[in-house]
Structure 1
Amino acid sequence: MKSKHYFWSCIILLGCTLAIANCNNPSNRNQPIESPKTAEALEKEKVIKIAEEIAFKEYGDEIKNELPLKAQLFGDSMWIIQGTLPEGADGGTVYIELSKSDHRLLKITHYK
């Protein structure tokens, strides 16, 4: 009988301890749960960085007005990266094609 009482006392004490510990930890309350980035999302970030470096080297500060660059995988062998324009703006943007396998520059142009 005494051991049964001791067992339940320990369970209740453990439950109270966990409840108090959880209440006193506000750091994780009301924060969005971040999903881990997929391999393709990480690859897209890398491709955009490479494309930005290429675009700035080729066209200079003109590219600043075309950020952010957007990348899309085309088929299974090529990334297509294009600049963006502010809403209502006239003109063209940088267009870059990179090899998916080694990020080698395949094509770069700037549409007007």
Structure 2
Amino acid sequence: MIPWARSFCPFRACGAKLANSELPLKISLINNRFWQIEGSLPPNMTGGTAIIVIKKDDGQIQYIRHTK
């Protein structure tokens, strides 16, 4: 488990209702330096998802965006 993930959910920055609607989350490690966390949509649903990039070594948020 990611050490800071137990107490921190960056998707809450987008709102709890929105965060719950984008489960399950897709988590990727980029260049062994950044965690990228993306929401997902149910099949046959159109719309955007939240994307958050977090620095691996200190948990600093690098990027937050919601696509359309």
TM-score range, shorter chain: 0.7 to 0.9
Match of 1:103 among 40, 59, 68: 59
Which structure 1 residue ranges, 5 or more long, are not aligned?
1-41
Q: Which has the higher helix share?
A: 1
The alpha-carbon deviation at position 62 of structure 1 amounts to 1.6
Partner of 2:2: 43
After TM superposition, the runs of 4+ consecutive aligned structure 1 residues lying more than 2 A away are none
Q: Of 14, 19, 25, which aligns to 1:59? A: 14
What are the ranges of 5 or more consecutive residues in structure 2 without an aligned counterpart?
A: none
> Please, what is the CA RMSD of the aligned residues?
1.9
Task: Indicate the SS of the match to 1:97.
Answer: strand
Residue identity (%): 32
More strand by share: 2
> Of the two, which has the highest radius of gyration?
1
Q: Compute the TM-score of the two structures, normalised by the length of structure 1.
A: 0.53
TM value normalised by structure 2:
0.83
Matched, 1:72 2:28: yes
Looking at structure 2, the residues matched to 80 and 68 of structure 1 have their Cα atoms a distance apart, in angstroms, of: 14
Give the AA of the match of 1:43.
I
2-structure distance, mates of 1:64, 1:78 = 23
